[in-house]
Amino acid sequence: MSAIAGPRPWSRASGRERLGTVSYHGLMTAMVLAYIFPALWAVSMSFRTDENMFAADQLIPHPVTLQHYARLFEALPGLGQYFLNTVVIAVLGTAGTLLSSSLAGYALARFQFPGRGVLLATLLLTLMVPVHATLIPQYVVFRELGWLNSALPIIVPLLFGTPFASFFFRQYFLTLPRELEDAAAIDGAGPWRAFFRIMAPLAGPAYLALGLLTFVSLWNSFFINSIYLAKQSSWVLTQALQSLIGRYTAQYGAIMAGVTLVSLPILIGYLVFQRWIVRGVSMTGLAN
Amino acid sequence: MSSTPGRTHSGRAASRRSASLSTRRSRTALLFVLPQVVGLIAFTGVPLVASLGYSFTHWDLVAPAPTFVGLDNWAHLLSDDRIPAVLWNTVRFILVGTTSLLVFSLIAALLTFTPRRGVALYRAALFLPYVLSQIAVGVVWRWMFNTNSGPIAGIWEFFGGDSPDWLLDPATAMPSIALVTTWQTIGYGMTLYVSALQGVPASLLEAATIDGANRWQRFRHVTVPMISPTVFFLTVTSLIGAFQLFDPVVAMTSASAGPATAGGPSNSTRTIVLYMYNQMFNYSERISGLGYAAALAWMLALIIFLITAAQFALSRRWVHYDDPVVRASRKRARA
Amino acid sequence: MGLRRKSLRIAGLLGGLSLLVSACTGAPAPSVSGGPSAAQPATVRVMLWGNDADVTSIKDAAAGFTTAHPEITIEWETGDCGVDYAACKTLVAGGNLPDVFVMGSWNYFEAARDGVTADITDLLARSGTPTSDFTSTIIKGMTSADGKLYGLPMGYNIQSLFYNKAMFDKAGLSYPAADGSYTYDDLRQWSAKLTLDKAGRNATEPGFDAKSIKQYGYFNFAAGPIEPGYAPVLAAFGGGILGGEARNQCTADASGTIDGFQWLQDLMWKDHSAITPQLHQEEPGYARWVRGQVAMQQGSHEQVLNVQQQNPTLAYDMAALPKGPAGNATLAQIHIWAMAQKSEVKDAAWTFLHYMATDGAGKQMGLIPAYKDVASGPAFAQGKGEPAGLVEAQLTPATWPLTVTNLDPSVVWSAVSSQDGVLPAIEDIVMNRKTASEALSGICAQRIDPLLKSVK
């Protein structure tokens, strides 16, 4: 049946297996709870009164207050706009990165062409030079293009793919068996068809994983946005949250309320995609 | 040399056919990589080459134009006595941070890979820290490390230790930052590992089971080679990222907000990129400015490049590619 | 063939580089005289920083300008230029610096030295506004050695003592004199008496348990460790990290500096009556004061807003900072309206800048206005919900002879205050790793003087 990994469904649960399941869940629950404690702490802070903001016994806030959420919307009336701006950047950026970089990664993994080694080395080199060193020349490029004070410097480069993603896709495509493309070639499918009909669906887990990571990093990115998005109407969510911090003091409750709200869509998205990942795998499972 | 002339002839024809095929394929390949190449040249390549160019100039960013100074910045690298310290700080981070990231995210992936009830929830939970915005991470972890009521000190003292001051102590500040970044990025590593594990054909695992391989042997001889390209990807990219450690240091150690006063206590967390940033923007020494920062950046790139090249060379021994080109070259290398 | 293609690509990249370099040289700065007059329509880009309340306060203050000058359109932007000079540098290098922005006293002279901000001395003279209309300490500090101004003050903040009245009442102590006629010795004694352990014993009583403190006496941002915290203390003890008219001489190992730091260390570590860096890391000291867990703190006017937001029922008042061995002293931090040297709409930019510093003065970023008597009017001193001691604690101290600003005329502070400079020594003091004298003796000759020499 399925050619792709995934342990067989338990045909019958023996006592030993049930014990294993129980101890697995016990162990995992304990570990995961300890692991996400600091994150829960952040969420918990958003529901605490200022009086209890840093008290060690307030993991479950008592009393619970929603005042910081109210304060957040009062301080940042443009929150809906910032949310939309963030969505546009994250969605377009992720889609562009996935398409362009998977094409490049596939070619790097499967085709022999002049300059292949140079291209791979160049991709890696761009990762090696710290971003701050290229910040100013990049800024000048965007000024020459007339793109300053807009989201174009953030979105457009992503549409052409990122070196990081291209390198990732190269590595992933190298793990996939070649026989499938060979078979497709014998059937007369050209490289484009072979890619879009066979290889890309096969790499579904890679698309989902990298798409998720790209989306999250765009969603949370601050530095580059703060440089190009100077008009308040073009702000993204991280910039809005940052504006709750003064030079020496900060509104911790409102910040954590903002962080909670900003993280929520991603977590929900993750749980939804989680199913797709599993289903995607069983569907591309190449019934043979 | 037992081959008949006929066979030789048809062999030549085949090779001619495959030559034209490979030209066509290489033309297709260029189309595949076109967007990435255009993007690379337009948005990354020019600034990259420009930054290399700037390393031969002095420019404080506010003067009308850079001044060409030849190798002055590069020569200064050799006499800058702050460089060994910032490199050592970076290495200290890598020893703790990168190693634990690679190991723990694989463990997290293995523990949550098996499709069972509840696994999706565990995985989402393990991914949560990666989703959390850096603003919250700084605030929460500074609290986590406080010695008055912080859980880290609490655990330490529970096991009988005398808790150090963590972020406030030069000896423990960098390991503390490594702990935080590992905590933040395990979800990221796990996601990549899981996608790789899903690429492991069940048929191979089944075949190994039939051959009598136990769980560990299946993992060691089937799973590990199959996911090795992803392991390799993670190793290469997280080392590159570790050498560029910057944001967490600023978030956790800056006295005022901002990189100008970050890197303490007593310079124990000043990394090479933080130093580069300071030289580019904050310092006004004779050498300071984009020129020297670019030289520092390229020195760092050179170090990473050498390490990455070594990783690529070593990868031939342990990374398994299903690629005839690589296989052939590996065979050649072995011969 | 492969080689040719490669060399072509490199040639293309190099072409791009030369274009970049030429782009960076930029166009020459347009002069004011040739520019459009203020009556002509113009768009002025104004960049703001600060938290949401700061930004709103400035936009509100500018409402009158829009009415008075309909021909000038203000385009608001937010960015770190002014609070962080690095952000200004990026904008300058990229040729995208806004026309008007807000500098801080901590980087005002660096921007002036670099030619980033415009010299407005003549413009001010022509406008008919005399410099005497501004608070004299502030405007004098902003004037360069050769008599030039590179901006006008938006306002300033002053470090004062904020105290919890209920705690003073309960301890039977009389309140600190609002005019600052008490001493650092007094403050230290109060701090100890206001520090209580679980059993209710104060820090001066026998049997006081320093491990179970419920209420602390004092918080100073020196626990950060940041300059607004320690600078006023050092000045009152007759010291300071840097001294001299041009603030370019190291006095970090002078006896006044050492005594001031030792006073801070003693409160934290000998008396156990002040918030230590560890405690500050657990919960910021100012937040502890706001919620009524610390009796006194040194802070600026923003604490009034903190109380309004987080604990409006707190019974508190403020007093001027105490007298040290050298006298009364505090620190003033100034926010400054400045305009770009390269602005193409200098006339309109100046019109706006001048308005914001004069007619529009007051109620900007929660600061004390430095224009005429706006500070004593409804914009500040008579504002709603202000504590009784406001005028004496915030306005008078600006005129004390020992009061310092963190203006940096020699542009050396960022180096001196960094991890390469004095910061590790200060960390050692506030963490109690070394006494002030151990940490600071010889630091000028060994660390700071070479650093001062290396700065161009």
* Residue B17 within any structural domain of the chain: yes
User: Which residues touch A282 (CB under 8 Å, ≥6 apart)?
Assistant: A2, A4, A6
Chain A touching partners, 3 or more CB pairs below 8 A = B, C
Tokens 């404080």, residue located: B60
Q: Cβ of A244 and C310 within 8 Å?
A: no
Please check whether residue B63 lies inside any domain of the structure: no
Q: Using 50, 70 and 90 to split pLDDT, how confident is the model at C17?
A: very low
Tell me, yes or no, whether C299 and C257 share the same domain: yes
Looking at the structure, do residues B150 and B9 belong to the same domain, yes or no? no
List, run by run, the mean pLDDT of 10-residue segments along chain B (335 residues).
Answer: 40 53 79 94 91 95 93 95 95 93 93 81 91 92 93 92 92 96 94 85 85 89 88 93 93 83 93 95 90 96 95 90 53 50
Distance CA C99, CA C47 (A): 8
Would you call A160 and B45 a contact, using CB atoms and an 8 Å cutoff? no
Domain, as residue range, for C241: 160-329+402-454
C361 lies in the same domain as C271: no
- Do B149 and B278 fall into the same domain? yes
B24 and B107 in one domain?
no
- Report the first-to-last Cα separation within chain A, whole angstroms: 7
Question: Same domain for B284 and B144?
Answer: yes
Same domain as C225, residue C139: no
Residues of C whose CB is below 8 A from A148: 94, 96
Best residue of B143, B256, B269, B279 to probe chain C, by most C CBs closer than 10 Å: B256
- Give the pLDDT score at A245: 86
Residues B35 and B120 in one domain: no
The span from the CA of C381 to the CA of C378, in Å, is: 6
Mean pLDDT over all residues of chain C? 90
* In-domain check, residue B50: no
| Nearest one of B275, C223, B22 to A248, comparing CA atoms | C223
Here the tokens at position A37 are: 């404690």
d(CA B318, CA B325): 16
Residue C349 burial (CB < 10 Å; 0-12/13-18/19+)?
Answer: buried
Residues C362 and C288 in one domain: no
Q: Please check whether residue C221 touches A, CB under 8 A.
A: yes
List, as ranges, residues 252-271 from B with C-beta within 8 Å of A: 256-257
Which of C96, C113, C419 has the highest number of chain B CBs within 10 A, making it the mutation to test binding with B? C419
Q: Are residues B236 and B152 in the same domain?
A: yes
**CB within 8 Å: A104 and B33:** yes
Predicted local confidence at residue B21, as pLDDT:
65
| Geometric angle at alpha carbon A170, from A168 and A176, rounded to 5° | 110
**Measuring CA to CA, which residue among A215, A194, A283, B228 is closest to residue A207?**
A215
Domain shared by B16 and B124, yes or no:
no
DSSP string computed for A1-64? ---B--PPPPSS--HHHHHHHHHHHHHHHHHHHHHHHHHHHHHHHTTS-GGGTT-TT-SS-SS-
C47 at interface of A, judged by CB pairs closer than 8 A = yes
Is B323 in contact with A277 (Cβ distance < 8 A)? no
Q: What's the pLDDT score for residue B255?
A: 75
Residue B331: how many CB atoms within 10 A of its CB? 10
Residue C15 placed within a domain: no
Weakest mean pLDDT among B263-267, C370-374, C379-383, C432-436: C379-383
Distance (Å) from the C-alpha of residue A189 to the closest C-alpha of chain B?
Answer: 13
Residue C130 lies in a domain: yes
Taking the C-alpha atoms of residue B257 and residue B248, their distance in angstroms, rounded to an integer, is 12
User: Residue C90: which of A54, A136, A247 has the nearest Cβ?
Assistant: A136
Q: pLDDT digits over C249-306, tens only?
A: 999 999 999 999 999 999 999 999 999 999 999 999 999 999 999 999 999 998 998 9
**Residue B285: exposed, middle, or buried by beta-carbon count in 10 A (0-12, 13-18, 19+)?**
middle
Q: Read off the pLDDT of residues C122-181 as tens digits, 9 standing for 90 and up.
A: 999 999 999 999 999 899 999 999 999 999 999 999 999 999 999 999 999 999 999 999
Do residues C225 and B168 lie in contact, with contact meaning Cβ atoms separated by under 8 Å? no
Q: Which residue of B has its CA nearest to A285?
A: B201
Do residue B21 and residue B119 come from a single domain? no
Q: What is the pLDDT of residue B257?
A: 67
Structural domain range at position B78: 72-334
Same domain, B13 and B153: no
Q: Check B61 against C93: CB less than 8 A apart.
A: yes
Question: What six digits make up the tokens of B285?
Answer: 């020494």
CATH class of domain segment(s) A76-243: mainly alpha
Is residue B266, in this structure, part of any structural domain at all? yes
Note the pLDDT of residue C405. 94
Rounded to 10 degrees, the C-alpha dihedral B40/B41/B42/B44 comes to 50
**What is the pLDDT confidence band of residue C21, given thresholds at 50, 70 and 90?**
very low
**pLDDT > 50? residue C231:** yes
| Successive 10-residue mean pLDDT values, chain A, 288 residues | 40 69 90 94 95 92 95 92 96 97 95 91 93 92 90 95 95 84 82 88 88 94 90 92 86 94 91 65 36
Evaluate whether residue B294 is within a structural domain.
Answer: yes
Instruction: Name residue A263's amino acid.
Output: S
Position A12 scores a pLDDT of 52
Whether residues B219 and B139 share a domain: the answer is yes
pLDDT of residue C433: 96
Question: Are C120 and C220 within one domain?
Answer: no
Would you kindly state where each structural domain of chain A is located, as residue ranges? 15-72, 76-243
List of chain C residues whose C-beta atoms are within 8 Å of the C-beta of residue A118: 6
Residues C250, C261: one domain? yes
- For residue A174 the two structure tokens come to 């190298």
Nearest to A103 among B35, B43, B308 (CB): B35
Which CATH number is C441's domain given?
3.40.190.10
Check A54 against C283: CB less than 8 A apart.
yes
Say if residue C5's pLDDT is above 50.
no
Looking at the structure, tell me whether residues B174 and B124 fall in a common domain.
Answer: yes
Chain B CB contacts of C86 under 8 Å are 258-260, 280-282
Residue B135 domain flag = yes
Residues linked to residue C162 through DSSP beta bridges, in sequence order: C297, C318
- Looking at the DSSP bridge assignments, the partners of residue A186 are none
B166 interaction partners in chain A (CB closer than 8 Å): none
C212: contact with B, CB 8 A cutoff:
no
Q: What are phi and psi of C269, to 5 degrees?
A: -110, -25
Within 8 A of B89 by CB-CB distance, chain C residues are none
CB contacts < 8 A (B, C): 125
Whether B225 and B118 map to the same domain: the answer is: yes
Q: Are residues C223 and C344 in the same domain?
A: no
The CA–CA distances, whole Å, from C218 to B11, C214, C299 equal 91, 13, 11
Please tell me the distance from the alpha carbon of residue C434 to that of residue C46, in angstroms, as a whole number.
47
Q: ipTM value, please give it.
A: 0.88
- CA-based nearest residue in chain C for residue A247: C50
Residues 6+ away with beta carbon under 8 Å from B304: A128, B239, B240, B243
Q: Map chain C to HEC letters.
A: CHHHHHHHHHHHHHHHHHHHHHHHHCCCCCCCCCCCCCCCCEEEEEEECCCHHHHHHHHHHCHHHHHHCCCEEEEEEECCCCCCHHHHHHHHHCCCCCCEEEEECCCHHHHHHCCCECCCHHHHHHHCCCHHHECHHHHHHHCCCCCCCCCEEEEEEECEEEEEHHHHHHHCCCCCCCCCCCEHHHHHHHHHHCCEECCCCECCCCCCCCCCEEEEEEECHHHCCCHHHHHHHHHHCCCCCEECCCCCEECCCCHHHHHHHHHHHHHHHHCCCECCHHHHHHCCHHHHHHCCCEEEEEECCHHHHHHHHHCCCCCEEEECCCEECCEECCEEEEEEEEEECCCCCHHHHHHHHHHHHCCCCCCCCCCECCECCHHHCCCCCCCCCCCCCHHHHHHHHHHCCCCEECCCCCCCHHHHCCCCCCHHHHHHHHCCCCCHHHHHCCHHHHHHHHHHHHEC
- Structural domain tally of chain B? 2
Answer yes or no: is B276 within a domain.
yes
Are C81 and C48 in the same domain? yes
Q: Is B41 near chain A, with CB under 8 Å?
A: no
Nearest-CA distance B12 → chain C (Å): 25
Closest-CA distance, C146 to chain A, in angstroms, reads: 31
What pLDDT does A248 receive?
A: 80
The residue to which tokens 């922005």 are assigned: C101
B265 lies in a domain? yes
Cβ atoms B167, C281 nearer than 8 A: yes
Q: Are C17 and B53 a contacting pair at CB < 8 A?
A: yes
Is C395 a residue whose pLDDT tops 70? Answer: yes
- Number of domains within chain C: 2
| Whole-number percent of chain C with pLDDT over 90 | 81
Token pair in block for residue A114: 């002049």
Question: Is C117 within 8 Å of C300 (Cβ atoms)?
Answer: no
A161: left (phi over 0), alpha (psi -120 to 50) or beta: left
